[in-house]
Amino acid sequence: MTKRVGVVTHDEMKKHCTFHEHPERPERIESIMKELAAQELLQKCISLPCREATTEELTFIHSVEYVTRVDESVAICKELEDGESHYLDPADKDCFLNEFTARAARLATGGLIDLVEKVMNDELDSGMAIIRPPGHHAEENKCMGFCFFNSVAVAAKVIQQKFNLQKVMIVDWDVHHGNGTQHLLENDNSILYFSVHRHDNGNFYPIGNSGSPEQIGKGLGAGFSVNVGWPRDGMGDAEYLSCFYNIVLPIAHQFEPDLILVSAGFDCALGDPLGHCNVTEEAFGHLTQLVLSCQKRGKVVLALEGGYNLHSLSKSCAQCISVLLGAPPSSLHSLPKVLMEGCPEDKPLTVSSQQKYKLADPALDAVKTMLATISAHKEHWVLEHEESVLNELAVKLKPLEEVKQKELKKAQRKKEKALRRLTRWEMQFRR
């Protein structure tokens, strides 16, 4: 049965732009909407109007002074010469502003709030906000990483108060850690924030300790910030699906959220110029289905964050909306064996009996990363079964990884030897 899925966007969000090349560009929204129309998905959705978030709503999360600074940028930008951009922080060239930025950011947040409200009122089953600029890096008093207002965090707090929700979950699969979302909510035990992202031992944006497994929340919020920070690039379907089965699902089932918001960044997708990971478009459909299974009534709303390869961005969004509409997720090229061994019996992976997969294991360093997250949360969540499954997998993968490393070293020595030989030939030729 087709579900009632809401989609919200606004053409004026595309007016937020710069004269210089920038990955966070208006074509992102255009490419998604064209793909949804081409796959005849848009016609099956319910399109909603979009309005600006009020200052009262924004200040659930942001300071009045910061909201005022963003609003005041409109007059400043109108005085700029052609080709110039304005920055709230001259040292941060990621967050450009023009005269339309403040309205675009308010539309993004207001549109998301209204979409979530309709889901909570049972006018819709679920939805996706195709919005920009993104929001999950924005802090209380600071724009960061292309983000001005933290739409998902604002929506979570506004809707929580309006509907007296006891438990809200935020799932963030953007390749960058949502530092703003975590910092704004890390003392709150009524909102569970989960993020899977590249961390690279603190060398990936946002640089530093942000998003490390040890960051579990503060005070009453201890245990309600869950971070899986990959140590490198190249993570793909096996790693992400293993993470969801062994960490997201068991924690969500224990938390039992009244609502799930997804910071849906697609910069971990295959081919993204910033993320350099390998998640396929089909896998995003599976991730969406898994998130739906975490809320007993399927009250899930996705909000666009990152994603800068227009092809993978649009195709991945289409997969997510297709699943929200009730279609089964598309076939994957490979699935991690750990899913078959470690998933809860009442939440099996939905696959057709005719589909045959070449099973793949997640990388050893990804398994170790997941184990580090589980270890950090031992006092807060029951994850003994998942820890056991991953430990067994790590033991199995270790000798395979050692062989792989030996082969890589052998190949490197061979390459170095060839380069030395080439250098000798060049020297002889010059003589």
The Cα–Cα gap between 239 and 338 comes to: 10
Taking only the tens place, the pLDDT of each residue in 286-338 is 999 999 999 999 999 999 999 999 999 999 999 999 999 999 999 886 555 54
Cis peptide before 133 (omega within 30 of 0): yes
Q: Tell me the one-letter amino acid at 222.
A: A
* Percent of the chain scoring above 90 in pLDDT: 76
Contacts of 275 (CB under 8 A, 6+ apart): 175, 176, 198, 233, 267, 268, 269, 306
Mean pLDDT of 13-34: 93
Global model pTM greater than 0.85: yes
The confidence score (pLDDT) of residue 351 equals: 38
What is the structure's pLDDT at 332?
84
Q: Is 237 helix (H, G, I), strand (E, B) or coil?
A: helix
Secondary structure of residue 332 in the 3-state scheme: coil
User: What pLDDT score does 37 carry?
Assistant: 98
pLDDT, tens digit (0-9, with 9 covering 90-100), for 63-95: 999 999 999 988 888 877 776 778 888 777 789
Q: Above 70 in pLDDT, residue 349? A: no
Q: Of residues 166 and 426, which shows the higher confidence score?
A: 166
Instruction: Give the C-alpha separation, 64 to 84, whole Å.
Output: 27
Residue 340's pLDDT band, with cuts at 50, 70 and 90, is: very low
Identify the pLDDT of residue 402: 65
pLDDT of residue 398: 85
197 in active site: no
Task: Write out pLDDT tens, residues 245-283.
Answer: 999 999 999 999 999 999 999 999 999 999 999 999 999
Question: Rounded distance, CA 415 to CA 149, Å?
Answer: 49
When comparing pLDDT for 404 and 335, which is higher? Answer: 404
Q: Could you read off the pLDDT of 113-144 as tens digits, one per residue?
A: 999 999 999 999 999 999 999 999 999 999 99
> Which residues are 279's β-sheet partners?
269
Q: What is the model's pLDDT at position 278?
A: 94
Residue ranges of domains in the chain: 5-345+357-402
Q: What is the pLDDT of residues 32-70, one digit of tens each?
A: 999 999 999 999 999 999 999 999 999 999 999 999 999
Rounded Cα distance between 364 and 81, Å, is: 53
User: Please, which pLDDT band fits residue 422 given cuts at 50, 70 and 90?
Assistant: low
Q: Write out pLDDT tens, residues 213-254.
A: 999 999 999 999 999 999 999 999 999 999 999 999 999 999
Mean per-residue pLDDT over the chain, rounded = 90
* Alpha-carbon gap, residue 150 to 417, rounded angstroms: 52
- Out of 137, 176, 177, 183, pick the active-site residue: 137
- Residue pair 190/160 in contact by the 8 Å Cβ criterion: yes
What letters, b where the CB count within 10 A reaches 16 and e where it falls short, cover 339-366?
Answer: beebbeeeeebebeeeeebeebbbbbbb
Which helix (H) or strand (E) element contains residue 97?
A: strand 96-97
Checking if the pLDDT of 343 tops 70, the result is: no
- The CATH number that domain 5-345+357-402 falls under is 3.40.800.20
